[in-house]
Amino acid sequence: MIGPSGGDVQMKKAGRVLFGVIGSLLAVWLWVYLWGPRCAAPEVVREEWCRHGTIPVRLAVAMQKYCQVYGKPPPPVFLGPNGHEHSWRVLLLPYLPLGEDAYRDYRSDEPWDSAHNRRALRSFLRHGFHYCPQDRVASSDSCHEFTSYLMVVRGESGLLDRERQAAPEEVLVVESAECGIRFAEPRDILWERLWRGDSPWAVGKLYSRHDYCWALRRNGQLLVIPRNMSPGQLRLLLEGYPVGNGGRTAGGASAP
């Protein structure tokens, strides 16, 4: 009996290697697109999510769903039965991946940072749908409590934005990496504070470790704002005015 030739053996080995590579790639694809939303994603996957806008898009989808239910965006701060202040981000929990259980367990009659509320949010926060993986403050926090996305609060009342007429193109939420603000904390960016100092591009204002910042308009549209935009153009863009090619539209709020 004639055995297989050396070429046949090598071809079989190459076939097994190729099959293994394809199988590994398929497994990664299935994990990211099917199982990924159900468990905590590794940082390398989350960095891809951030780069391609998956995390901001999920936030935009949640905001759009909230607006469909209530007819308008959430207030920057809402009050619990006992007068405790809580962030608008808590109100989006039912519309964010794996956020429904956290929202049911969250107690608005307690302070936002009570021991119970921190435990209630723990499972949701560890999945990292609320911060950019390149945010050094958020990524280094073992409890994953810090966020990278803040509301731009306008009006005379500070934390509480008064009812007012606002253009649909007005920017509502911006990326503010390393802001040091926790997910449920009732604190955001005050409009007036953006324009104090030398530049609105700074930690505590608009900031990221990309060459751009993500932003969300009231109409659910995502923007990619280059960090080299002048303060004058940026102000017009945030107020909802067209500024040519200054801010690139990243599409509407459709799930990836």
Position 11 in a domain: no
What pLDDT does residue 245 have? 58
Position 145 in a domain: yes
What pLDDT does residue 209 have? 87
Tell me which residues of the chain have a pLDDT lower than 50.
1, 3, 17, 21, 28-42, 44-45, 157-162, 251-256
Using DSSP bridges, classify how beta strands 212-217 and 171-175 pair: parallel, antiparallel or unpaired: antiparallel
For residue 178, what are the domain limits?
A: 44-249
What pLDDT does residue 235 have? 93
DSSP letter assigned to residue 11: H
Position 189 in a domain: yes
Tell me how far apart the alpha carbons of residues 188 and 151 are, in angstroms, rounded to a whole number. 6
Q: Which position has the token pair 């704002």?
A: 225
Contact 235, 195 (CB under 8 A): yes
Domain count, the chain: 1
According to DSSP H, which parts of the chain are helical?
A: 6-30, 43-51, 54-70, 88-91, 100-105, 115-125, 136-140, 191-194, 231-238
Position 168 in a domain: yes
Closest CA to 113 of 140, 87, 152: 87
Q: Tell me the pTM.
A: 0.76
What pLDDT does residue 134 have? 87
What pLDDT does residue 246 have? 58
Position 176 in a domain: yes
Position 17 in a domain: no
Contact 122, 141 (CB under 8 A): no
Task: Using the Cα atoms of residue 204, residue 196, residue 190 and residue 215 in order, give the sign of their dihedral.
Answer: negative
What pLDDT does residue 55 have? 82
Position 234 in a domain: yes
Angle at alpha carbon of residue 74, lines to 72 and 76, rounded to 5°: 135
What pLDDT does residue 40 have? 44
Position 3 in a domain: no
Report which residue type is found at 61: V
